Amino acid sequence: MPRKSSRARNLEQRQDKLQAILAAAFDLFVEKGFADTRLDEVAARAGVAKGTIYLYVPSKTALFEELIHSAISTPIEGIEAQVAASDLPLEAVLRLMFRRIRKEVLETSRRDIVRLIISEAGRFPEIAELYHREVLSRGLRLLRGIIERAAARGEIRSDELARFPQLIIAPFVVGLLWTSLFQDYEPLDVEGMLDAHVDLLMRALKTASS
């Protein structure tokens, strides 16, 4: 096996260092928010000098945006593929999907990204737009597809969810915020809540709207 060219190695190292900076920034932005995070700390945690950050991003703001951009890669493709491939009944699809979202978002650092976006989107409209475009609109489209397919199959006899797919994922938002902000004061069994949510939905959907 030939040794990697020095150039290739450099590119790799460069990527590694950028990743280290982004990772350090991620931790600190999540922990303290954008305004309270010092680039000194980011540099220290990334193991680089302060000036080095500016070799990779042009400003603190750009660092934040770059971070969100790179972290926002959604697991949606995976779920889309799985849903498209499978031919399960609606309830199974929902349970599968809920489980994946729970495992791949709520129980990973993606959870923190989402909370960061919710917290800082007011100051970074571009990020709100990005998140809507890359995650929300695709997620809602996926949900509508699932609902419509189930409706076509006769599994659903009402149109509420087709009109407001946000209702399907609302408990995730509550779960995410609750565990971030209030878990210490009153724990919430997110998995239980999500199960109950699916139960309710399934019973409701089997009934025609009056």
Q: Which residues bind a second copy (CB under 8 A)?
A: 32-36, 115, 118-123, 128-129, 132-133, 136-137, 158, 160-161, 163-164, 166-167, 169-171, 173-174, 177-178, 180-182, 184-186, 188-189, 192-193, 196-197, 199-201, 203-207, 209-210
Q: How far apart, in whole angstroms, are the C-alpha atoms of residue 117 and residue 68? A: 8
- For the CB of residue 65, give the shortest distance to a second copy in the complex, in Å: 15
Count of CA atoms in the C-beta half-sphere (13 A) of 137: 7
Cβ-based neighbours of 76, under 8 Å, separated by 6 or more: 135, 138, 139, 142
CA 23 to chain centre: 16
Which among DNA, a second copy, none contacts residue 61 (Cβ within 5 to 8 A by kind)? DNA
Which among a second copy, DNA, none contacts residue 86 (Cβ within 5 to 8 A by kind)? none
17, 69, 100, 132: which one binds DNA (CB under 7 A): 17
22, 30, 60, 171: which one binds DNA (CB under 7 A): 60
Residue 6 CB coordination number (10 Å): 8
8, 49, 81, 173: which one binds DNA (CB under 7 A): 49
Burial 126-142, CB ≥16 within 10 A → b, else e:
ebbebbeebbeebbbeb
- For DNA, which is the closer residue by CB, 49 or 84? 49
- Kindly list the distances between the CA atom of residue 92 and the CA atoms of 8, 53, 60, 82, 156, in Å, as whole numbers in the listed order: 46, 46, 44, 12, 14
DSSP notation for 51-82: HHHHHH-SSHHHHHHHHHHHH---SHHHHHHH
- For the CB of residue 191, give the shortest distance to a second copy in the complex, in Å: 11
Contact status: 99 vs DNA (CB under 7 A): no
- For the CB of residue 121, give the shortest distance to DNA in the complex, in Å: 19
Per CB under 7 A, residues contacting DNA are 6, 10, 13-14, 17, 37-40, 48-52, 54-56, 58-61
